[in-house]
């Protein structure tokens, strides 16, 4: 994934996160406020009901009444409904949800003395008895049981007055509001995702152009430098044959080689950042490839008085680019040798687990300080101790290795303990074209 794509994804997720957070907060506040208001309205109604011994309190008379509103002492004989209006409760003209209320006078022993009702209720005496038992079992003076909200207050002669109100309509309305809020949240999320894609493209356009120009510049310069570097190397070889061995030629040749390696690495990173580095993905024998890549280091390790252990599980098939994955092994082993002291032991391990392939390069030695473990994958970064040993290189090897690992959907991690060891682990997904 290129830097541009990573930046665009971050912008998109930032926009979606901010929008989703604000909308979610607003919808939660709306649902909570509605629920609190409805519960308070029902609770106030029960309190007024209890104050009047289970009967609805007399309404307050208004000077102006909207059309179709009847005073409670006047009955509409056609519809057999009574409408009440309370300014203190703000019940509104339509109090249909308040119709199914009643009160029960219960003795201390739980015996129902009286059922106080002003409208037909949808409960039998047996259902009311079961309801009262459930309410008393809660040991609360107020709350809800199923679709019924209740309020328990003391009555005369040691009895309890339990006022009950059916709030089924309220609950259904709250559920609909919640469902509607979820639908709004999901729909707005889809719309925001589409818009954020367009907005992010506009926002990062200047950055994209700048990075593309920078990568193109690096690629062009690196490409143009390859020719003079090659010419210098060829001329040095010719002069060596004519003049003979010369230490100055040796210095020039070594620096020319290092410059060529630097240009090659810069060109690779520039192509990868710009998305122009297309690689061929095929199934190959990962075990055999890594073994062929690390075997030449046996001589180098022997010359530096180090021991190289190779533990490779055979016949591991990997889906990827063989050349680039071999390059990771070369970088890690070369890095281990350059940063180890004499008598160090370097162990290369390749094994396959359930769903992944592991390449581990472990070396004994000085280790890496914790504050540098995240920095070592940065481009051109080298620790002071590495510079002091003059091991060469420009600090691009680990950055290239990590880039290759990400291209293969893998990870490259490091673990280390000072004065003991350093271990790099390449983790790749275990998959093949056959799968």
Distance of alpha carbon 110 from alpha carbon 129, whole angstroms: 9
Bridge partners, 411 (sequence order): 427
Tell how far CA 282 is from the center of its chain.
32
Distance of alpha carbon 365 from alpha carbon 391, whole angstroms: 15
Q: Is 257 exposed, middle or buried (0-12, 13-18, 19+ CB in 10 A)?
A: middle
Q: Which of 406, 375, 429, 378 lies closest to 272 in space, CA to CA? A: 406
The rounded average pLDDT for each run of 10 residues, N- to C-terminus, in the chain (435 residues) is 74 89 93 92 90 79 37 35 36 49 88 86 86 90 90 88 90 92 92 88 82 73 76 81 78 80 74 68 92 90 90 91 90 89 91 91 87 80 53 73 89 89 92 63
Per-residue model confidence (pLDDT) at position 211:
73
Per-residue model confidence (pLDDT) at position 346:
93
Per-residue model confidence (pLDDT) at position 66:
39
Q: Which residues have a Cβ under 8 Å from the Cβ of 11 and sit 6 or more positions away? A: 196, 199, 200, 203, 204
Q: From residue 272, give the alpha-carbon distance in Å to each of 265, 279, 322, 403.
A: 11, 10, 17, 8
Tell how far CA 84 is from the center of its chain.
53
Q: Which residues have a Cβ under 8 Å from the Cβ of 384 and sit 6 or more positions away? A: none
Q: Which residues have a Cβ under 8 Å from the Cβ of 291 and sit 6 or more positions away? A: 310, 312
Tokens 């680019």 sit at which residue?
321
Contact between 368 and 386 under an 8 Å Cβ cutoff? The reply is no
- Return the C-alpha torsion angle 415, 370, 377, 333, nearest 10: -40
Distance of alpha carbon 238 from alpha carbon 255, whole angstroms: 17
Per-residue model confidence (pLDDT) at position 61:
39
Per-residue model confidence (pLDDT) at position 23:
92
Read off the pTM: 0.52
Per-residue model confidence (pLDDT) at position 71:
32
Q: Which residues have a Cβ under 8 Å from the Cβ of 1 and sit 6 or more positions away? A: 406
Per-residue model confidence (pLDDT) at position 371:
79
């Amino acid at each position: 994934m290129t830097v541009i794509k990573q930046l665009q994804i971050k912008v998109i997720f930032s926009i979606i996160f901010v929008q989703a957070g604000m909308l979610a907060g607003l919808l939660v506040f709306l649902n909570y406020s509605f629920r609190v208001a409805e519960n308070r309205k029902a609770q106030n109604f029960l309190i007024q009901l209890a104050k009047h011994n289970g009967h609805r309190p007399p309404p307050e008379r208004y000077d102006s009444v909207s059309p179709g509103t009847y005073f409670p002492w006047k009955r509409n004989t056609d519809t057999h409904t009574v409408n009440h209006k309370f300014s203190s409760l703000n019940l509104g003209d339509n109090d249909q949800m308040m119709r199914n209320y009643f009160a029960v006078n219960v003795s201390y022993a739980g015996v129902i003395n009286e059922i106080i009702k002003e409208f037909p209720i949808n409960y039998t005496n047996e259902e009311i008895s079961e309801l009262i038992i459930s309410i008393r079992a809660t040991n609360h003076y107020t709350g809800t049981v199923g679709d019924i909200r209740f309020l328990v207050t003391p009555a005369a002669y040691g009895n309890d007055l339990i006022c009950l109100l059916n709030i089924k309509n309220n609950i259904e309305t709250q559920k609909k509001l919640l469902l509607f809020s979820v639908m709004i949240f999901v729909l707005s999320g889809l719309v925001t995702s589409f818009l954020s894609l367009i907005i992010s493209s506009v926002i990062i356009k200047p950055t994209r152009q700048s990075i593309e120009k920078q990568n193109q510049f690096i690629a062009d310069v690196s490409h143009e430098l390859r020719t003079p570097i090659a010419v210098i190397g060829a001329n040095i070889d010719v002069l060596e044959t004519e003049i003979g061995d010369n230490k100055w030629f040796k210095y020039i040749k070594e620096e020319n080689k290092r410059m060529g390696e630097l240009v090659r690495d810069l060109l690779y990173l520039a192509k990868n950042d710009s998305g122009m580095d297309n690689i061929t993905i095929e199934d190959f024998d990962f075990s055999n490839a890594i073994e062929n890549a690390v075997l030449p280091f046996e001589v180098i390790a022997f010359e530096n008085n180090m021991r190289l252990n190779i533990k490779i599980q055979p016949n591991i098939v990997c889906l990827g680019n063989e050349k680039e994955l071999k390059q990771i092994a070369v970088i890690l082993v070369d890095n281990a040798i350059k940063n180890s002291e004499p008598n160090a032991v370097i162990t290369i391990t390749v094994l396959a687990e359930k769903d992944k392939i592991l390449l581990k390069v472990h070396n004994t030695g000085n280790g890496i300080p914790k504050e540098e473990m995240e920095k070592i994958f940065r481009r051109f970064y080298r620790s002071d101790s590495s510079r002091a040993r003059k091991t060469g290189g420009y600090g691009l090897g680990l950055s290239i290795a990590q880039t290759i690992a990400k291209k293969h959907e893998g990870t490259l991690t490091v673990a280390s303990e000072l004065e003991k060891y350093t271990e790099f682990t390449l983790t790749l997904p275990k998959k093949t074209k056959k799968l």
